[in-house]
Structure 1
């Protein structure tokens, strides 16, 4: 496609039945290279664009991955040796993330959850800053009208609410009678990598300081459900196994259950040795404790899917009532959001209906 002056008109990515085609116009060939930056597990797939002289554009054609939506960026290399990773200028559809905006390519079959048009999130009822051995843990609690003794605690809670509408999900599910009424405690991560990387001091802080303070302020009791994504999922499992009486249910999304067999690519992470030692101990059955209802979700084409399959199988063999669901997306907050219903809905109902 060209404009009246012969310059190419950017048309953006195109989704076909079996392929995705990306096009970035560069009539003067100012760039020296373009690369697709993504979080899909596409082993052996070349993601370098090629310059097409007839269209004066950089192009890339990929086999269509097994996802319903795809988040990505482009890494642009300049003639002076510099490079920048940015959203796709040909694609106006963006989504925010913990590390900035991403371009989004939706497949024809993708639909957002219907509950997004449901109830507004409850107001903040309580704010706590609990002093612990790993520093103050800040928690904001969203509470429904009336009283309830049930509690859901979310690692990375502010991000879950801002990027995955967790507060709206909670309000809608309670309004519609899908789950019993509950308080939603959004725990801020603080020094996230240090706290959430199977750190015994954080598990102790959560179980012996944060949860007791929440129970005292809110009047909650009974089984607490603890949820988290990525490192937050690892930290949730770690806390439950070290303090099995403190947590009655687990919702773990794309957990960072690193093992050398699958995750050598993560070895630059400063707490990788601690994580792999801990996960190895879990796989060997150490610290099994009390098994609780556990649901894991993971993107079917993300790197963590291999260690999540292994963890789900391990927990099941150790007596945990486990459900594991692979979703057609990758490692991002929208993927985690889209898995809330029915998977988190079902877990909450299972843990609380007869509590």
Structure 2
């Protein structure tokens, strides 16, 4: 009997689940690769259940087992787990995958200070990360992150910041981790949120912490919200880092049409895609997974922004729509954008 262990075997990925008595009535694979449903049913074998798939064109694969009568479960044969906003997933590395070196690199000592800003939309909560020992009156470049606490927890954003400063790749800077609160409502091209971010949150941060050259980053709807804010309040940000942005259009994303704010999102995206001039020209970095649904609308958006005269660096990574995929390209993609925006490692 083969080892009851999920693994990559040559040109296949093999998923296994021990169940000698076949107590389960069925097992399916949950994944985000868009594979056909008929390919995801496990077959009964002597030791339990097995599923063989052709090796997908990604460099790591997140998945769950959907066990009849039990629901979604991580793979008990696989100790590799990754956290996310929707719970833990099992994952397998595929040949060639290497985690970023900064994950295990030395970081600098830092502080994390809570900050709440009142706005017409309600209180906006954040945390301000900064190198230890630097007074608020000392001017530093500023990076703001939508879904900030999640990026810190699941993509190691604060460790990335500390490791980049420790290595000299980036000069000292401050990082504002913004809580998503009512995420869909706020981030889905909401004019009230754009006003709150640009007219209340950023000024409040700059009043308390002397700052220069603010850069706004976000993923998925957070990326959309970043572009939406800069588009309607031009000149607010010197740079934008947009990962897997939810730049929905009816042509590329009809599958999202039941999203409650779909019309608001597609309306803003159409405004950008039909524009003849851009209201501002921040430096833009964009990333997307080569196999995720949003890659198509990101390609369209990157091309349009470049056509409007913005400097756009767009990179695709062989992964999906998740925090690890976004983490894995922070360096060099975000690092390069910050160096270009802030003027290099000395921040001059």
Category of TM-score, reference length = shorter chain: over 0.9
Normalised by the length of structure 1, the TM-score is 0.91
> What do the CA deviations read for 1:57-91 (whole angstroms, capped 9, x no partner)?
3222212112111111111123xxxx511211222
| C-alpha separation in 2, matches of 1:346 and 1:212 | 26
**Do the aligned partners of 2:107 and 2:166 also contact (CA within 8 Å) in 1?**
no
How far did residue 37 of structure 1 move?
Answer: 1.0
Tell whether 2:44 aligns with 1:52: yes
| C-alpha separation in 2, matches of 1:63 and 1:209 | 51
**Equivalence for 1:274:** 264
**Equivalence for 2:118:** 131
**Equivalence for 1:5:** none
| C-alpha separation in 2, matches of 1:255 and 1:184 | 21
How far did residue 273 of structure 1 move?
Answer: 1.8
**Aligned partner (choices 127, 130, 143) of residue 143 of structure 1:** 130
- Label 1:41 to 1:325 Cα distance change in 2 as closer, same or farther (>3 A): farther
**Equivalence for 2:96:** 109
How far did residue 168 of structure 1 move?
Answer: 1.0
How far did residue 207 of structure 1 move?
Answer: 0.3
**Equivalence for 2:243:** 253
Normalised by the length of structure 2, the TM-score is 0.93
**Aligned partner (choices 282, 292, 316) of residue 302 of structure 1:** 292
How far did residue 248 of structure 1 move?
Answer: 0.8
Give SS of 1:228's match: strand
**Do the aligned partners of 2:144 and 2:175 also contact (CA within 8 Å) in 1?**
yes
**Do the aligned partners of 2:215 and 2:240 also contact (CA within 8 Å) in 1?**
yes
**Equivalent residue pairs, number:** 341
> What does 1:33-44 align with in structure 2 at a 5 Å threshold?
33-42=26-35, 44=36
| C-alpha separation in 2, matches of 1:233 and 1:182 | 21
Greater shift in the superposed pair: 274-283 or 95-104: 274-283
How far did residue 225 of structure 1 move?
Answer: 0.4
**Equivalence for 2:87:** 100
> What do the CA deviations read for 1:96-138 (whole angstroms, capped 9, x no partner)?
1111000011123222111112233653354211111221111
**Equivalence for 2:160:** 169
**Equivalence for 1:6:** none
**Do the aligned partners of 2:110 and 2:162 also contact (CA within 8 Å) in 1?**
no
> What does 1:68-79 align with in structure 2 at a 5 Å threshold?
68-78=59-69
**Equivalence for 1:22:** 15
Greater shift in the superposed pair: 320-329 or 60-69: 60-69
Gaps spanning 5+ residues in structure 2: where?
Answer: none
**Equivalence for 2:226:** 236
**Do the aligned partners of 1:122 and 1:168 also contact (CA within 8 Å) in 2?**
no
**Equivalence for 2:304:** 314
| C-alpha separation in 2, matches of 1:286 and 1:84 | 50
Give SS of 2:26's match: strand
| C-alpha separation in 2, matches of 1:125 and 1:88 | 35
**Do the aligned partners of 2:143 and 2:174 also contact (CA within 8 Å) in 1?**
yes
| C-alpha separation in 1, matches of 2:15 and 2:140 | 51
**Equivalence for 1:10:** 4
| C-alpha separation in 2, matches of 1:244 and 1:303 | 29
**Do the aligned partners of 1:35 and 1:47 also contact (CA within 8 Å) in 2?**
no
